[in-house]
Amino acid sequence: MKDRLKDFVQAHREEFDSFAPRPDLWQDIAAELQQEEKKPVIPIETEQEAKVISINWHTAWRYAAAVALLVMVAFSARYYMNTQGASEAVATTQPVPLDKIAPELRQIETKYVRVIEKKKSELKAMGAGQVRFAELDSAYNELKKELYTTPNKEVLLQAMSDNLKMRIALLNQQLEVLENRSNVKAPARHETTNI
């Protein structure tokens, strides 16, 4: 590029020299400068420059992510507060007695609980330890809780009845096992051997 400019200047050298400034040009320039000096100078308040904040895409995405995070936290808090109110509302409606929801439940429980207690006392008399039905108990309690919310009570009552029947069946099996052991051991003690 410098070579092209240099070549152009050398090619047109004569044209540059042919134009000479007029003789009074410098006098006109000096007169204009003196007129500008004579004008009253009004002090201009210095304006403060506006601060320019340049944001590139990287920082813009950061700000957008921060705003999105704040919005998500706000909605999560609102959802959590709404679900807390709903669970409290359900809790206030649950104290309705089971007798009003399913009056047959009391009959089923009294019928089977009597048999279960009788079987447990027989097991104790035979020297067996305390029988625990952790899984059956938790399932029974879950079924009881579902009675409050399920419209089909008959199916749940049948499931609860089956749960109690399973307990009785397990107790009967344990009684049979203990009776078989005692029958097998008893003849062995009194047996005599002939030589």
pLDDT digits (tens), the chain, 195 positions = 678 888 988 888 877 776 677 778 788 888 888 877 666 666 667 777 777 777 788 888 899 999 999 999 999 999 988 887 665 555 555 556 666 677 787 888 888 888 888 888 887 877 766 667 778 888 888 888 888 788 888 888 888 889 888 888 888 888 888 888 877 765 555 556 666
Distance CA 104, CA 111 (A): 11
Check if the beta carbon of residue 92 is closer than 8 Å to that of residue 147.
Answer: no
- Helix-helix angle 134-146:153-190, to 10 degrees: 160
